[in-house]
């Protein structure tokens, strides 16, 4: 679970680095990323309450999928901008 958590936090960090200097970011895209960030945060919060002997693989997989969705959104926006130039 710790690896999935690190991957998720790295995705959030990359998204914030991409969006911070860019004032022209699409509001819909930003809301999607924020929604995914909250979804990931909720998955992490659920895992805190799991017993030690539980199998958290499902939650780790879900968290990795959220991170993947964030990466797709962030880098698809970057690819769109590169294609416009």
Residue 2: per-residue pLDDT: 85
Please report, for residues 14, 29, 35, 63, 77, the alpha-carbon distance to residue 1 in angstroms, rounded to integers and kept in the order given.
20, 27, 21, 9, 29
Residue 61: per-residue pLDDT: 94
Report pLDDT digits (tens) over 14-71. Answer: 888 887 776 666 778 888 999 999 999 999 998 888 887 787 888 999 999 999 999 9
Residue 82: per-residue pLDDT: 58
Residue 38: per-residue pLDDT: 96
Q: Looking up tokens 């999607």, which residue turns up?
A: 32
pTM above 0.85, yes or no: no
Greater confidence (37 vs 77) lies with 37
**Helix, strand, coil tally for the chain in percent (to 5):** 80, 0, 20
């Amino acid at each position: 679970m710790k690896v999935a958590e690190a991957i998720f936090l790295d995705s959030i960090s990359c998204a914030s680095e991409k969006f911070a200097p860019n004032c022209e970011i699409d509001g819909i895209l930003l809301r999607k990323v924020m929604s995914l960030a909250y979804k990931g945060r909720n998955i992490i919060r659920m895992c805190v309450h799991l017993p030690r002997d539980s199998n958290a693989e499902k939650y780790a997989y879900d968290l990795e999928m959220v991170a993947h969705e964030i990466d797709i959104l962030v880098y698809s926006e970057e690819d769109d901008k590169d294609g416009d130039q």
